[in-house]
Structure 1
Amino acid sequence: MSTIATHARFRSLMSRFVTGVTVIAVASEDRQPGVVAMTASAVCPVSLDPLLLLFCVRNESSFLPYLQQSQIFSVNILSSSQDAVSRYYGGQAHHGTEGTWKLKAASAPVLDGANATFVCHVANLQRLGDHHVVVGEVVGMHSIDPPAPALVYAAGQYLGVELVGRPGTQASA
């Protein structure tokens, strides 16, 4: 099997894995509106003690140098109404809509309308193959409650999934 065929088959089969959709963002003074962001569907929790999560970013991504410089980022879990925001930060700006951001000094941008946001400090950044694996330590959490339907992605399509709120879930600012 050729390398190109293997890559294409791998991508095709991985598209069968249903994932949530996030926008990962860092603050940047040299970009308007002060935010550099990317869409990511490969985000997962790593640890509860300490609170850690991870995501991957392509080595050639224009986002990576900003992340390396900032060392603080947000992971914004999108609601089903934010598919255009996902497209905008996923490299399809002409088919998308820029998000509205809440900016606080010495913190990461928080996407307005996201179901949940995790603010993280970079705990580990490791190059593996054609990506960097980023492990972030969670230092802040925000949510909308009750949660809106979630935005999910599978086989090249966005879908909305209704979430059932858990008793005791509380919003934070």
Structure 2
Amino acid sequence: MSKPGASVDAGGFRAAMAQLGAAVNIVTTDGVAGRYGITASAVCSVTDSPASLLVCVNRASRMHAALRANGVLAVNVLTPDHEALCAAFATGGLSIEERFAGGSWQAMNNGVPGLEGALVRLACRIETVTEVGTHAVIIARVEQVVLRGEGEGLVYFDRTFHRLPLTPALSEG
């Protein structure tokens, strides 16, 4: 047990976080700063009223600057069929054009690219950005939800991708 206020070893912390399973997503943006996208697992819901989520992005990345300038984003929740696309969006050496070439994209209501065939597509408007260490915590209001309704999810756990069975979505009334 560590003392209050004691530093936690970064390597130990990363090893612990590898045991925290998370959905795999491609976060996209488009607008005045251009089209960008990254693979992200640091995405989660905040509240359903108003529908909001949070996304964490490294402040040193081009994606962070683009998100701040564009003010909009889409979260595309991946299936196991998207593993190669996920790797492309996580590879720093690929151009934005090369990343997007691997998928079929359709503009969502906010103009941001949504991945056709994604398990879920969420079009969002950025409301607040808080800087925490090396990352920005972005709170975004969800403006459009597109559910595929069937298929398997893709999760990242113990530094490996895993399939997650999905039951058909409940229809909204």
Q: Per the shorter chain, which TM-score range?
A: 0.7 to 0.9
Q: In the alignment, what sits opposite 2:148?
A: 144
Which runs of structure 2 are paired with 1:70-85 in the superposition (5 Å)?
70-85=70-85
In structure 1, which of residues 150, 162, 165 is the aligned counterpart of residue 165 of structure 2? 162
Q: In the alignment, what sits opposite 2:104?
A: 100
C-alpha distance in 2 between matches for 1:144 and 1:30: 29
> Which amino acid letter does the alignment assign opposite residue 103 of structure 2?
G
What RMSD, in angstroms, separates the aligned Cα atoms of the two structures? 2.5
> Which amino acid letter does the alignment assign opposite residue 150 of structure 1?
G
C-alpha distance in 2 between matches for 1:139 and 1:90: 26
- Matched-pair contact (CA < 8 Å) for 2:109–2:123: no
- Given the two structures, how large is their TM-score scaled by the length of structure 1? 0.85
Q: 1:12 and 2:34 equivalent?
A: no
C-alpha distance in 2 between matches for 1:167 and 1:67: 32
SS in 2 for 1:168: coil
Q: Percent identity?
A: 23
- Given the two structures, how large is their TM-score scaled by the length of structure 2? 0.85
Deviation at 1:158, TM superposition (A): 0.7
Structure 2 alignment gaps of length 5 or more: none
SS in 1 for 2:9: helix
Q: 1:116 and 2:146 equivalent?
A: no
Equivalent pairs, count:
164
SS in 1 for 2:38: strand
Deviation at 1:53, TM superposition (A): 0.2
- Matched-pair contact (CA < 8 Å) for 1:119–1:140: yes
Which runs of structure 2 are paired with 1:3-42 in the superposition (5 Å)?
6-28=9-31, 35-42=35-42
Structure 1 alignment gaps of length 5 or more: none
Deviation at 1:93, TM superposition (A): 6.2
